[in-house]
Amino acid sequence: MFTFVIPAYNEEENIATIVRQACAAAQPGDRVVVVDSASSDATARRAVAAGAEVLRGPRGKGAAMAVAIAGSTSPWLCFLDADLVSADVNVPATLRKAAASGTADHIVGDYEYADVGTILSSTFTIYEPLVAEFFPEVGALGANSLTGYRAIRRRYLVGGLPTHFGVESHLNISIAVAGGTAAVCQLGVIASRFRYKPDMCREIAGSLLDLAVAHHRLDPGDRPSWNSWVDGGAAAIAAVTATTGRSAALARLFAAVRRPMPSRASRTSLPAAPEPAPA
């Protein structure tokens, strides 16, 4: 059984699209759950009209996801973005099929953006350099490794989640270090509503660095240097939003990627991961 989870904040214009896809993908025993993350619009009402259960949740993507996890007992949870406008495929059905037909514990939905000018600035400026430095065992999870479309075996959804947009970074790492396997599922071309989130890159980095400290990959005394490194990348990302020239924007980001990383006083190895809880 699967629980399709759609965290949503003020998505009244688009919520019905992904809910209808999830309802079409659902099989007997599955649930389609929208967690209304303190919306001020008609998101909840339109989600119900489209066929979803609605749970009330606090503000914050990770916080909303945690509400759904706590309220579900299904072996798989499939997380979906609420801002889907159109897609080449039924996204939840494709993720469900990949999870049910394979052996991986974590199915990561990769896709191309309908807007060919999309730049995944936080992904390659912040996330990819940090994960390569501290958690190389995560490996390649597609070009869109921080995707909001993913299916995860419930037994790997233990412990707390970041309350914010650092949740995908946290999931990629925590599942890998717990011994979970991952597979990338291609979803074709997806169109979605874009909203600039100025704190997203810091939330992504903060979640990753928190895990690095918790798993003894980063000495706490070195953390301020890494925070400063993140600040430099965040400044480059913010500058891109104010730049009209595509070439200039890319040049700023590539320069940020090439910045030297801080030295690390400690490079201790990760202790053996505990066995995940039984399903």
Alpha helices in the chain (DSSP H): 15-25, 43-50, 61-70, 91-101, 121-122, 128-134, 167-177, 200-214, 223-241, 246-257
Task: Tell me the per-residue pLDDT of 165-209, one tens digit each, with 9 for 90 and over.
Answer: 999 999 999 999 999 999 999 999 999 987 778 789 999 999 999
User: How far is Cα 13 from Cα 109, in angstroms, rounded to an integer?
Assistant: 23
Tokens linked to 71: 């309220």
Q: Give the distance, in angstroms, between the CA of residue 98 and the centroid of all CA atoms in the same chain.
A: 18
For the chain, the farthest-separated pair of C-alpha atoms sits apart, in whole angstroms, at 55
Q: How far is CA 118 from CA 42, 194, 240, in A?
A: 28, 10, 12
Mean pLDDT to the nearest integer, 99-121:
92
User: How far is Cα 230 from Cα 248, in angstroms, rounded to an integer?
Assistant: 20
User: How far is Cα 173 from Cα 187, in angstroms, rounded to an integer?
Assistant: 22
**φ and ψ at residue 62, rounded to 5 degrees:** -65, -35
In this prediction, residue 276 carries a pLDDT of 47
CB 216 within 8 A of CB 270: yes
- Please report the domains of the chain, with CATH numbers, ordered by start residue: 2-257 (3.90.550.10)
> Residue 206 corresponds to which amino acid?
G
In this prediction, residue 247 carries a pLDDT of 65
pLDDT, the chain, mean: 91
> Residue 121 corresponds to which amino acid?
S
107 DSSP β-pair partners? 151, 183
DSSP secondary structure letter of residue 215: T
Confidence of residue 236 (pLDDT cuts 50, 70, 90): confident
